[in-house]
Structure 1
Amino acid sequence: MATLTDRLDHLLGKKTADVLAEVFDIHTAQDLLRHYPHRYATKGAGLGAQRPPEGSHLTVVARVSKTDLRAMRSGRGFLLKVTLMSDEKDAASTETIDATFFNGQKVKHLITKGTRAMFSGKVKYFNDKPELTHPSYLLLPEVGDDGLIAGSIRGAGELAGMARGALDGGDVDMTVFERDLIPLYPATREVESWTLMKCVRQVLDQLDDVEDPLPEAVRREHGLIGLDEALRIVHLPDTKEEVTRARDRLRFDEAAALQLVLAQRRHTAVARSAPACPPHPDGIAAAFEEMLPFTLTDGQQTVADEISADLSRPHPMNRLLQGEVGSGKTVVALRAMLQVIDGGYQCALLAPTEVLAAQHARSLRQMLGNLGSAGELGAAEGATRVTLLTGSMSVPARRAAMLEAVSGDAGIVIGTHALIQDKVEFFNLGMVVVDEQHRFGVEQRDALRSRGRDGVSPHLLVMTATPIPRTIAMTVLGDLETSTLRELPRGRSPIVSKVVPARERPAWVDRAWERIREEVAQGRQAYVVCSRIGEGDEDGPDAKEQNTVAALALFDELRFGALSELRVGLLHGRLPADEKDAVMKDFTAGRIDVLVCTTVVEVGVDVPNATVMVLKDADRFGVSQLHQLRGRVGRGAHPGLCILITDMKPNSPAFQRLSAVAGTNDGFELAQLDLAQRREGDVLGAAQSGTLSTLRLLSLLDHEDVIESARVFAQAVVTVDPELTAHPGLASMVTAALASDRIEFLDKS
């Protein structure tokens, strides 16, 4: 007999075990049994008096009564059309069904008149007659034989594959086809589904009863079957209802394993020490609030209070601040940083691009006024200094910025990935703010968190203007407490979005340029965004075929054409840093009317006078990206207009996606749409959540209730047993239900 931890070379033999290890990283009985079927083949309905419904799956044992080989209309190849008469004992002998094979010249010598075979495929209707199109098939022995197929397998598709998997001593055991549900596994050319099925059955035959790691009370509360039963049923079910029960249990295992890891991380974070920075009534934070020319919204005040309470504790804050584009996250983050500076510590603000880092430096200095000019003439008492550090700075400027960081002269250091480099040191880092957290890998985030002095962990605040569905927040960012800003600051203007089908309505594209001219005539400004910079920068392998417009080409086209009377600027990621900064300064100051750019303006760029954004080839951008870009306009007193230009046809899925974006300004609604369309594997970018796409049964889109239940369970367990020493079964489940690389991913985050 065997246990879940037994090695497969002891159970299946070294040759088979080595292949499974190499191809699937499967080493133990548990690894193999957690490699679940991804679907099940069904026998379907046999031929009878009832007409099978369109699209239903039909598996029939039949005899070929007629064949007809025809040349295809294209002149390439032949179709073999055959008529099948049911050979099942309980079928009406007069019922027939047609089947069509595309590679007729290849199968004509096998599928001949009088041949007895099993055929399986989906039913389609042509001229009101049911037909199987290119079904899988397996030639069968004549009735009265011993039920074995001797010699080579003759057939193609799933049925022939099942037969190869059922080979035993040179013969095919036909009992594999007697099951109502036949498991089909994720497979490769080296290891077919039928090989996996055979291995699983071998292991199950040797497996001892599996001890259940979930307490009976938990199983009863959630209506879950035992683990032993679930592992056996999921591989060899008799009914679809059994499949559902088994998957429900095993799905909870995945969610629980994931939440146990996150609960352990939250517990570890609480155990670490961090600088306690309670509010100072006479500090720089209080002075900043007094000089603010506006009142914080109720939402901003609530979130600011939550963060302030976190910073007051001697344990590191780990908080996610998410909010709509333009909801005022930056002022909340600055208020928090000033509270840390009042405590005698420094803050680091990590931005994904140099454009955004420079924008943050300008806006924070502007908001702080003389509170942010320490060491300069006219600085306020107790002022701090804001320092910018980026990779493309000149050597002298970079050295000066690094000196301000290591000496403690800079209270706030803003930068890109340059801040993460080993050479950058801080005098006394107390807080890390990560803007647009989905742009950074977890290792990058962690690199700054380790920069505290004397083993003290800095507080961490990660911000995003890309609203995150709750299930993602509970998993990928499950170790973070979440604060949300939903309301926009008073006076923020609405944004109207329109989709323009360029091919069907070319005049509407001309109208878009006219709208820009009208807005500029009234003293306003506009963005024109492209998906790529120039030739050789296709956004995807088929960009040229779709004739996507490059920023360099459109810049010349507009400044010498439709917008020739306006001041047109160009901004993209390949420009030198000082040139990018100069362009943004000119645009912010109103010296540029129209900025042709790429997605370097996607986040954080704040030009209140910009009211129009035109997105060329809008279908090339993701839902969240479109929402982010759109948020660059309407940031002042005047309404915003976003024009989405696409060559896609109005009835295409891409056009419908753009229409959905145009139909709402609710980023949380769009985040759910984004998750539904892209699934969870890449919704936060590969660096953040790509490993989650390998969850076998748990969907972050469909199983929020399971994740929530598992989260409550995991927190209760870890509260009393952080290391799971009293729950060895759960500790084992953590490593079994989740792939090892995913555990490493979570540990590093």
Structure 2
Amino acid sequence: MDELDAPLSSRLGARTAALLAEELGLATVRDLLWHLPRRYVERGQVTPVGDLEAGEQVTVVARVQEVAAPRPMRARAGALLQVTLTDGRTPIGLTFFARHVNQFAHHRRELVPGRTVVVSGKVERFRHSLQLARPDYQALPDGVDDAGVVVDRPVPLYAATGKAASWKVEKAVRAVLDPLDERADGIPDVLPAELVARHGLLGPLAALRAVHAPDTREHLAAGQQRLRYEEAFVLQTALAQRRHEAAAERAVARPGRAGGVLDAFDERLPYPLTAAQARVGEEVAADLARDHPMQRLLQGDVGAGKTLVALRAMLRVVDSGGQAALLAPTEVLAAQHLRSLTAALGDLARGGLLGGDERGTRVVLLTGSLGAAARREALLAAASGEAGIVVGTHALLQEHVQFADLGLVVVDEQHRFGVEQRDALRRRGGRTAHLLVMTATPIPRTVAMTVFGDLETSVLDELPPGRAPVTTTVVPLQRTSWVDRVWERVAEEAARGRQTYVVCPRIGEEPTDGPDAAASAPASVPAAADLEPGADALWDEEPPEEEPPAGGAQRPAAAVLDVVRTVREHPATSGLRTEVLHGRLPAAEKEDVMRRFAAGEVDVVVATTVVEVGVDVPTASVMVVVDADRFGISQLHQLRGRIGRGGLPGTCLLLTGVEEGSAAGKRLKALAATTDGFALAQVDLEQRREGDVLGAAQSGRRTSLQLLSVLRDADVIAEARRDATELVTRDPALTGHRALAAAVAERVSGDTELFLGRGGPPGRRAPPARPGRGPSRC
């Protein structure tokens, strides 16, 4: 058996092994050795206690300030010992319980005033003061270790739980690592020797010793350098193999033709392309003209003209005799795309029909809620090739949907679809279609994917003329006069003939509504009723950062069905024409509401995030987001992009009940400070880390990256990419690098395998973290 695959029960005591498996999911030697420290402290360093929040499971470093005399409890049998720690500014209490007052001798020996301790526990508030419930601690030595050496080395702090404290993890790591180091033969090197020498890296065992038991900060840095490069290199090798395989795939070249529908469309454009649109259009055209599949990510800020670039690419494919599919995440957005495309094309969208241009094509819509007759007509148009452009939702992914010659798949808001879903559509009919995925503000996983080089990237970094400025203001719900002013502003805009969106996190009156339902559901993901038939209910959307108030449960998120009553009853807005829009409504009703809103027949639409992307109403000038803290940065930026589209200045009002200094409060403040989507993506990435770059996880809470940071380590990643590309070019199957091949195979599994397009069961998901078992904040 490979030493790394040995079960921990064979190397540790049965109780310790069971604890690590139950609490942290660590089952093998490999699992434990790559459970790397979260951070390090040195003697004299402390954790700012004032930053802690009630409800968190934390590991902190503080000094003992005071140890009270043990005393009997008043209300029941037993005794307690109260200890006060401090970071020099803010105190935090520890309380220990025992049967008798003479059973605290160990605590009183270890918890000496002035001594630094590492302590784990759950933060609670008791009588307006912070305390750690059920604390577990380790006192740091007073300057000398058992061998008489001065203790100035960094102390590792691990992701841990209440039962598996950081120092218990450290003890287990040393018990496994030290014997390996003595033999020096337990861990094969996945890196080629030439790369280790070229970059001056430590060997694998030396690197693990340096990160788990560093002697100095320099020793630690050398170990981290090795492991960061190794992590980047394994990931980049996997991606290089995918690029190599993709280069061997064949697709039909779609170079277009002169005098076709694209030329006719360009002649009718009422405005010139921006320089960015022209540049990106040439990049896409060059990819389409090749005989291997395009895989390109089109990034652009809200309103940068991504849809126009995508439409021109689709028309080029139609001119080449093929078809294009535009995949949208919701029926509202799909219908909006249909309206936008047909309006832009005019009679070019009615090719083969009475009154249509002979150079044109047909554009059809396919969604899950179409009637039987309309659905049959759309399916026939796609299968016969009569429809050159098919716009649809997840309904396009169903097996019975066939195309005559699918040449291009355009995915709007690509993070809303699983990779296996879009690839299934690309390979429909036995040939691989070209792929263009679009996103506005990149969410962290998208940023990470582009840095790691999975997709070729095009960026629209220029806004078309005519976009009006949008002012964003954070409105505290506690200030009722400010909230009243919000509704007065909505009424003032209506008096000028302008419209308002009011967006809420949920619909309301859900079948699963209950005391805890609203707070427990991910608020930035639409309710189940908002999903299309057959939709993947686990969208790759960023989870909200829920911040319950200290000592109490979080109140339910604002609901459309409640807020619409507020709008209709408020003195300022009671006379306005107000409608609701959400995914639970019949498709015809949703379409009717948006049609009347766009026509100026509705003043206010109270909606869920079905209006997040694509909905284009030039006279909409106000966006009110209720409980804005329940949404992520990219989603809020998308919502804000729905206004200011017709030359009218826009106002975005973010209503929130969170404190300004909280994580969500800082997120909203950042949004109010800039309208630059790429800057906001950077803020989002800094706050939430990269997410699972090669898997389904979206947030940094379940990141696949141990040491790598996309922001900090871009140079390391680029270097590893060059090295991996060079190696895979010479040895695509890694036949001469068995250890590396094993590391890639182990890394590319489960959701990662799906991401890399190497099969696996569709719809497979990583198991959710069990409530209450998440790692502590260190």
Could you say which TM-score interval applies, normalised by the shorter chain? 0.7 to 0.9
* Matches of 1:71 and 1:14, distance apart in 2: 37
Structure 1 gaps of 5+ residues are 46-50, 85-97, 124-129, 137-154, 163-172
Tell me if the contact between 2:33 and 2:173 (Cα under 8 Å) persists in the aligned partners: no
Match of 2:354 in 1: 377
Deviation at 1:545, TM superposition (A): 4.3
CA gap 1:552/1:214 in 2 versus in 1, 3 angstroms: same
Give the structure 1 partner of residue 103 of structure 2: 110
Assess if the C-alpha contact under 8 Å between 1:531 and 1:539 holds in 2. no
> Is 1:157 matched up with 2:136?
yes
Secondary structure of residue in 1 paired with 2:276: helix
The answer on whether the counterparts of 1:325 and 1:628 sit within 8 Å (CA) in structure 2 is yes
The TM-score, its normalising length taken from structure 1, stands at 0.81
| 1:568 aligns to 2:559 (yes or no) | no
Shift of 1:409: 1.1
Q: Secondary structure at the match of 1:411?
A: strand
The Cα offsets for residues 384-413 of structure 1, whole Å up to 9 and x where unpaired, read as: 111111111122221221111111111111
1:72 and 1:78 in contact (8 A); partners too: yes
Letter in 2 for 1:444: Q
Task: Note the aligned Cα RMSD (angstroms).
Answer: 4.1
Cα offset for 1:725? 2.0
Paired AA for residue 103 in structure 2: L
C-alpha contact (below 8 Å) 1:275/1:315 kept by paired residues: yes
Distance change (3 Å), C-alpha of 1:395 and 1:552: same
Cα separation, partners in 2 of 1:355 and 1:690, compared to 1, 3 Å = farther
Provide the rounded CA distance (Å) in 2 between the counterparts of 1:115 and 1:553: 53
Please give the residue correspondences for 1:88-487 in structure 2 after superposition, counting only pairs within 5 Å.
Answer: 101-103=94-96, 105=98, 108-112=101-105, 117-119=109-111, 130=114, 157-159=136-138, 186=159, 193=169, 194-208=171-185, 212-215=189-192, 218-219=195-196, 221-451=198-428, 453=429, 455-468=430-443, 472-474=447-449, 478-487=453-462
Query: Which residue number corresponds to residue 645 of structure 2?
Result: 635
What amino acid sits opposite 2:397 in the alignment?
Answer: I
In 2, Cα distance between equivalents of 1:427 and 1:552: 44
Structure 2: which 5+ residue stretches go unaligned? 50-59, 86-90, 121-133, 521-547, 759-778
Kept after mapping to 2: 8 A contact 1:438/1:688: no
Report if aligned partners of 1:438, 1:684 keep a CA contact under 8 Å in 2: no
1:513 aligns with 2:487: yes
Structure 2 contact 110–139 (Cα < 8 Å) conserved: no
Shift of the alpha carbon at 1:236? 3.5
Q: 1:576 to 1:457 in 2, by over 3 A?
A: same
Q: 2:688, 2:700 within 8 Å by CA — same for their partners in 1?
A: no
In 2 relative to 1, CA 550–13 (structure 1 residues): closer, same or farther, beyond 3 Å? closer
1:333-372, Cα deviation, whole Å (9 max, x unpaired):
0000000011111111110001001111111111111111
Displacement, 1:718? 1.8
**Which shows bigger deviation, 173-182 or 240-249?**
173-182
Q: Distance in 2 between matches of 1:340 and 1:76?
A: 81
Whether the 8 Å contact between 2:689 and 2:699 is mirrored in structure 1 is no
Shift of 1:182: 6.1
Counterpart in the other structure of 1:493: 468
Q: Is the 8 A contact 2:361 2:387 kept in 1?
A: yes
Q: Secondary structure at the match of 1:740?
A: coil
Alignment check: 8 A CA contact 2:95 2:135 kept: no
CA separation of 1:701/1:745 partners in 2, compared to 1, >3 Å: closer, same or farther?
farther
Distance 1:58 1:39 in 2: 15
Structure 1 residues 74 and 442: CA distance shift in structure 2, 3 A: farther
Superposition deviation, residue 262 in structure 1? 1.0
Does the CA-based 8 Å contact 1:680-1:692 persist in structure 2? no
- Secondary structure in structure 2 of the residue aligned to 1:404: helix
Q: SS state of the match for residue 69, structure 2?
A: strand
What does 1:516-595 align with in structure 2 at a 5 Å threshold? 516-536=490-510, 539-541=518-520, 545-546=554-555, 548-561=557-570, 562-595=572-605
Letter in 1 for 2:624: V
* CA apart distance, 1:287: 0.9
The 3 A distance-change label for structure 1 pair 183 and 495 is closer
> Residue 71 of structure 1 contacts residue 77 of structure 1 at CA under 8 Å; is this kept in 2?
yes
Q: Deviations over 1:40-74 (max 9, x none)?
A: 676x47xxxxx9999895899xxx9x972357999
TM-score by length of 2: 0.79
Change in CA separation of 1:387 and 1:689 when aligned onto 2, cut-off 3 Å: farther
Structure 1 position 517, deviation (Å) = 2.1
The CA deviation string for residues 189-233 of structure 1, in whole angstroms up to 9 with x for no partner, is 589523443233334334427554434553455442222321333
1:573-722 map, 5 Å: 573-681=583-691, 686=696, 693-722=703-732
Q: Deviations over 1:578-607 (max 9, x none)?
A: 111111111112211211111110011111
Q: Shift in Å at residue 475 of structure 1?
A: 5.8
* Change in 2 beyond 3 A, CA 1:181/1:108: farther
Residue matched to 2:765: none
Distance 1:115 1:313, change over 3 A: closer
Q: Secondary structure at the match of 2:316?
A: helix
Structure 1 counterpart of 2:361, which letter? T
Contact 2:477 2:657 in 1 (8 A): yes
Matched residue of 2:652: which SS?
strand
Structure 1 stretch 68-77 or stretch 635-644: which is displaced more?
68-77
Alignment CA distance shift 1:58-1:665 (3 Å): closer
Query: Are the counterparts in 2 of residues 323 and 465 from structure 1 also a CA contact under 8 Å?
Result: yes
Q: How many residues get paired?
A: 686
* 2:507 alignment partner, SS class: coil
For CA contacts below 8 A with separation 6 or more, give which structure has more relative contact order: 2
Give CA deviations for 1:84-121 in whole Å, capped at 9, x if unaligned.
9xxxxxxxxxxxxx997512545732334x9984448x
Matched residue, 2:756: 747
Q: How has the CA–CA distance of structure 1 residues 390 and 477 changed in structure 2, closer, same or farther, with 3 Å as cutoff?
A: farther
Aligned-partner Cα distance in 1 for 2:154–2:658: 42
Instruction: Find the counterpart in structure 1 of residue 774 from structure 2.
Output: none
Q: Partner residue of 2:540?
A: none
Deviations 1:291-323 (A, max 9, x none): 111111000110011000000000100000010
* Residue type of the alignment partner of 2:658: M
Larger Rg: 1
CA contact (8 A) 2:46 2:63 kept: no
Letter in 1 for 2:309: V
CA separation of 1:392 and 1:363: change in aligned 2, threshold 3 A: same
Partner-residue secondary structure (3-state), 1:157: strand
Evaluate the alpha carbon distance shift between residue 7 and residue 207 of structure 1 in structure 2; reply closer, same or farther with a 3 A threshold: farther
The alpha-carbon deviation at position 498 of structure 1 amounts to: 1.4
Tell me, yes or no, if the aligned pair for 1:601 and 1:629 is still in contact at 8 Å. Answer: yes
Q: Is the 8 A contact 2:119 2:138 kept in 1?
A: no
- What one-letter code is carried by the residue in structure 1 that aligns with 2:501? Y
Alpha-carbon distance in structure 2 between the residues aligned to 1:612 and 1:99:
45
CA–CA distance in 2 between the matches of 1:7 and 1:742?
24
Provide the secondary structure at the position in 2 that maps to 1:483.
strand
Distance 2:462 2:634 in 1: 18
Distance 1:15 1:206, change over 3 A: farther
Paired residue for 2:744, among 728, 734, 738? 734
| Letter paired with 1:661 | L
Q: Which amino acid aligns with 2:757?
A: K
Q: How many Å separate the matches in 2 of 1:215 and 1:36?
A: 23
Judging changes above 3 Å, is the alpha-carbon distance between structure 1 residues 208 and 663 closer, same or farther for their aligned structure 2 residues?
same
Residue 617 of structure 1 deviates from its aligned partner by 1.7
Structure 1 contact 469–668 (Cα < 8 Å) conserved = no
- The code of the aligned residue for 2:256 comes to P
**Residue of structure 1 equivalent to 2:81:** 80
Q: Secondary structure at the match of 2:256?
A: coil
